[in-house]
Structure 1
Amino acid sequence: METIYALASGRGRGAVAIVRVSGSRADAALSALSGRSIGSPRLAEVRKLFCPVTGVMLDEALVIGFRGPHSFTGEDVVELHIHGGLAVIDSVLDGLGKVEGLRPALAGEFSRRAVENGKFDLSVAEGIADLVDAESAAQQAQALRQMRGMFGELCEGWRQALVKALAYIEAEIDFADEDLPSDLARSVEPLADRVRSEMQAMLEDRRGEKTRDGLFIAVLGAPNVGKSSLVNWLAGREAVIVSEVAGTTRDVVEVRLSLGGHVVTICDTAGLRETDDLIESEGIRRARAVGEDADLRLWLATDGEDREVPSEGSRGDILVRTKVDLMEMPVSRANCGSSPEGFDISVKSGFGLETLLEEISRRIEDLYGGLEAPVISRARHRVEIEACVASLIRGLKLLSQDTDLSLVAEEFRLATRAIGRVTGAVDVEDLLDVVFRDFCIGK
């Protein structure tokens, strides 16, 4: 297998950058740049690095060598901790490119080699990718749980249970003349049904996917009730245009930020009203569609205004009375957040904003927080587990009808393969191409 190299740290100017080399010629690469091979494994050494062709000094680096299989990839690995200037990085990468037998790594190739060499399973590799991409505390915690193997261990437990069930069924097929327990195949029903039940319970919980992909909050209401002003305050910047002219916002404007430890996308929408303007009408249609799909809806209205809100508020609705600084009678701070009318705020004066923010954060945590057990976080996982459940349902039905056991065995075989693909236990080659395509180059 070819020896690969890449920048493992983020691209850009910094104090330190890390270049990783993995493969059978990692030692030769270090010798070509520093004049000496790997010394004691895992021992950091300071060495001068030189261009292997011209002999020009490139940098003075901290060098660490790892002997396979005791490395991230399971191969011989060299890490060069160099100064983080762009010129230094480029010169070291260029120098490695001049070493025979080395080539630049593809996206995710280091992690792919780790999976192929049995260092960890595919779900752990995806956890590493999610940790690198984490934007919030919730995403970080979820990625760490997956990286520690919690999700993979659960799926592997299911797979092992199905392998056992399949073995019992095939034993009754292949050794029907032997002295086997009666109804050996039927004896697997409780085990298979338990696995099916646990999988279906996981499929019903979408909190993992919401945490990874982010939540959507729609800000809705009539024109000029302060939707854009509130969005800008939540974003902490002038993310959308604010104007006294009604109908300024004609499309959905999305602003991504972190609230309550979760990544959310705030959607500023067109004001809801009757209009003959075709463009504004399309904006209003889109606003209603966003509201229907949102995880949380902020319904804004000014005092005394008709509110276009559901007749019965749902768990995902927060009613907000805006511009209370313009009211003739001052609003009592004690009423803020406790009124049947909802939350009283003024973006201009700042009144009630922190209380509203606390309520939004609390609602998000109630809806999607508190994750401790393994959860589905990727569409790929959901597709495979759904396929597994479907095969189990068909197999159990056939088994209960005393159908030809070869048909039952085929359904259990399909179920076993489907859950195995989650962790890469079976049919992995094409799957790896898809999974690692979106990884960082040096990971």
Structure 2
Amino acid sequence: MIFGETIVALSSGRLPAGVAVIRVSGPNTRFVLETICGEAPLARRAALRTLYSYPDKAILDRGLTIYFPAPHSFTGEDVAEFQIHGGRAVVEALMTALTAMPGVRHAEAGEFTRRAFMNGKLDLVQTEALADLINADTEAQRRFAQRNADGAQSALYTGWRQRLIHARAMIEAEIDFADESDVPGSLADTVWADMENLAEDVSTHIKGFAAAEIIQDGFKVVILGAPNAGKSSLFNALARRDVAIVTDEPGTTRDLLDVTLDLGGLKIVITDTAGLRENAGTIEAIGIEKARERSRQADLVLALEDMSAPQPVETDWLKSDSIKVGTKLDLDCDPDQQGETYDLTISSLTGEGVAGLLAAIRRRAEQSLSLVGDVLPTRLRHVELLSDTLRHLRKARSGFGQPLELRAEELRLAADALGRITGAIDVEDLLDVIFSQFCIGK
């Protein structure tokens, strides 16, 4: 599919920069190259060229140009890249010259990737993975996104869909040719056994979404405790800067404060919360309820207690994993009670024990990811369609005694749900939402 207009955008980072990359895609790309450079360079070879303005032919800059003729390009169309000096005035002058040409306009957000999808260069899952790769902050996010961008997730869903299509074909063959000798009567048994295995695979895969959320959104750790238990001091120590206000006055923290850490390539989101106590004021009570709610949603809770003046906090209501942490190790504390009462002891003031706490958080985060494979559903959209797939599979398998035509129809619906994940079927209504999340130039 070739689009009628040629699009152009700055595809590199924020200006000014040492080098800026401007990308062009569409049917007028070769004309653009010949107009700006005098001639198009050889395909897929970088060439140093003097770049001229349009239409007055004034010299703009000297830079590298690369030409990718269709269909061997990112978008599947003719594509050109200009690598020029990254000054704002230089970039603006070249962009002005390019968009002054007939049939050339500024690209919209995600339009290059959308053209790649429409021209069959990427499917929807790879497109979403590409967005994740661009937005990756940690090594775990990068590896996860790169694997899916390379097609691992798409290959899994495509393989499952092919099994469904094959099963449906075999069932329909049994319906149409039941009297023929070359269609064995035991064929249905083999098909339904495979569908049983497929249903188990899909169910297990859906459960992996929790791990994917941890990789993408972060392992959520909540600091909980009574007022003056050292929550904000620990929060600042982990953040390595003064984020939360620390005073001797109880109830200083009334809202949730977040900071993101990178521990061994994993994204860890630490949340400081209001101190839990009875008879709090109206505003503080709202903060306490927020603390309880966030703790219920956490992957790990750090239950803090001031060892110099213990104020135990009831945590039986927690559903999350927790670590009981004794704080203010630098003050006078009973050393004989520390190991018996607390999982870890720390001093946010001196830093003693903080490294051990970080190591414990990292271990818990790694354990939460160790039970799943590398290929996981990465979007709630995927989970919803996979759940539809599983529902139709189960209806087809449990329909003993029903006409085979109805059970074959359930297999078709299951295959269609899988097809909508990768964009093989009926996804036009999703495209604007998906591609609007990309930056301009991608």
Tell me the TM-score normalised to structure 2 length. Answer: 0.93
Extract structure 1 runs of 4+ deviating beyond 6 A. Answer: 312-315
Q: Distance between the aligned counterparts of 2:353 and 2:98, measured in 1?
A: 59
Helix, strand or coil for the counterpart of 1:326?
coil
2:91 aligns to what? 89
1:316 aligns to what? 321
Q: Distance between the aligned counterparts of 2:35 and 2:6, measured in 1?
A: 14
Q: Give the count of matched residue pairs.
A: 436
- Is 1:307 the counterpart of 2:319 in the alignment? no
2:395 aligns to what? 394
- The more displaced of 306-315 and 144-153 is 306-315
2:237 aligns to what? 233
1:202 aligns to what? 205
Contact persistence 2:306–2:328 (CA under 8 A): yes
2:57 aligns to what? 55
- Is 1:441 the counterpart of 2:435 in the alignment? no
Q: Structure 1 132/241 Cα, relative in aligned 2: closer, same or farther at 3 Å?
A: same
2:286 aligns to what? 282
Give CA deviations for 1:251-297 in whole Å, capped at 9, x if unaligned: 11222232332112211100000024111111111111111110110
2:359 aligns to what? 358
Q: Structure 1 275/58 Cα, relative in aligned 2: closer, same or farther at 3 Å?
A: farther
Q: Distance between the aligned counterparts of 1:397 and 1:328, measured in 2?
A: 64
Q: Which runs of 5+ in 2 are unaligned?
A: none
- The more displaced of 109-118 and 294-303 is 109-118
- The more displaced of 151-160 and 163-172 is 163-172
2:79 aligns to what? 77
Contact persistence 2:116–2:122 (CA under 8 A): yes
- Is 1:35 the counterpart of 2:34 in the alignment? no
- Is 1:119 the counterpart of 2:121 in the alignment? yes
- The more displaced of 123-132 and 424-433 is 424-433
Give CA deviations for 1:305-361 in whole Å, capped at 9, x if unaligned: 1321435998721111111211156x59xx98x655121111111111111111111
- Is 1:218 the counterpart of 2:219 in the alignment? no
What is the deviation of 1:174?
A: 4.1
Tell me the TM-score normalised to structure 1 length. Answer: 0.93
Residue correspondence of structure 1 range 147-158 to structure 2 within 5 A: 147-158=149-160
Q: Distance between the aligned counterparts of 1:309 and 1:93, measured in 2?
A: 62
What is the deviation of 1:214?
A: 1.6
Contact persistence 1:220–1:298 (CA under 8 A): yes
The equivalent position to 1:273 in structure 2, one of 268, 277, 283, is 277
Contact persistence 2:140–2:266 (CA under 8 A): yes
Contact persistence 2:202–2:390 (CA under 8 A): yes
- The more displaced of 426-435 and 150-159 is 426-435
Give CA deviations for 1:103-142 in whole Å, capped at 9, x if unaligned: 2222222122222222232212222111110011110110
Q: Distance between the aligned counterparts of 2:24 and 2:188, measured in 1?
A: 51
Give CA deviations for 1:65-91 in whole Å, capped at 9, x if unaligned: 111111111111101111111222222
Q: Distance between the aligned counterparts of 1:420 and 1:348, measured in 2?
A: 56
Q: Distance between the aligned counterparts of 1:339 and 1:181, measured in 2?
A: 69
Give CA deviations for 1:397-426 in whole Å, capped at 9, x if unaligned: 12xx22122221221111101111111121
- Is 1:254 the counterpart of 2:258 in the alignment? yes
Helix, strand or coil for the counterpart of 1:90?
helix
- The more displaced of 368-377 and 94-103 is 368-377
- Is 1:26 the counterpart of 2:25 in the alignment? no
Q: Distance between the aligned counterparts of 2:108 and 2:158, measured in 1?
A: 28
What is the deviation of 1:215?
A: 2.0
2:162 aligns to what? 160
Give CA deviations for 1:17-61 in whole Å, capped at 9, x if unaligned: 11111111111111222222x221111111121221232322211
Q: Distance between the aligned counterparts of 1:371 and 1:140, measured in 2?
A: 17
1:13 aligns to what? 16
Contact persistence 1:209–1:376 (CA under 8 A): no
Q: Distance between the aligned counterparts of 1:84 and 1:370, measured in 2?
A: 46
Q: Distance between the aligned counterparts of 1:112 and 1:146, measured in 2?
A: 17
Contact persistence 2:48–2:64 (CA under 8 A): yes
2:379 aligns to what? 378
- The more displaced of 82-91 and 255-264 is 255-264
Q: Which runs of 5+ in 1 are unaligned?
A: none
Q: Distance between the aligned counterparts of 2:230 and 2:130, measured in 1?
A: 41
What is the deviation of 1:184?
A: 4.3
1:419 is matched by which residue type in structure 2? L
Q: Distance between the aligned counterparts of 1:275 and 1:312, measured in 2?
A: 19
Q: Distance between the aligned counterparts of 2:318 and 2:298, measured in 1?
A: 14
Q: Distance between the aligned counterparts of 2:161 and 2:271, measured in 1?
A: 41
The equivalent position to 1:294 in structure 2, one of 293, 298, 313, is 298
Q: Distance between the aligned counterparts of 1:152 and 1:174, measured in 2?
A: 32
1:228 is matched by which residue type in structure 2? S
2:286 is matched by which residue type in structure 1? E
- The more displaced of 279-288 and 427-436 is 427-436
Helix, strand or coil for the counterpart of 1:324?
coil
Q: Distance between the aligned counterparts of 2:133 and 2:243, measured in 1?
A: 27
Q: Structure 1 313/103 Cα, relative in aligned 2: closer, same or farther at 3 Å?
A: closer
Q: Structure 1 339/132 Cα, relative in aligned 2: closer, same or farther at 3 Å?
A: farther
What is the deviation of 1:181?
A: 2.8
- The more displaced of 40-49 and 184-193 is 184-193
Q: Distance between the aligned counterparts of 1:216 and 1:198, measured in 2?
A: 28
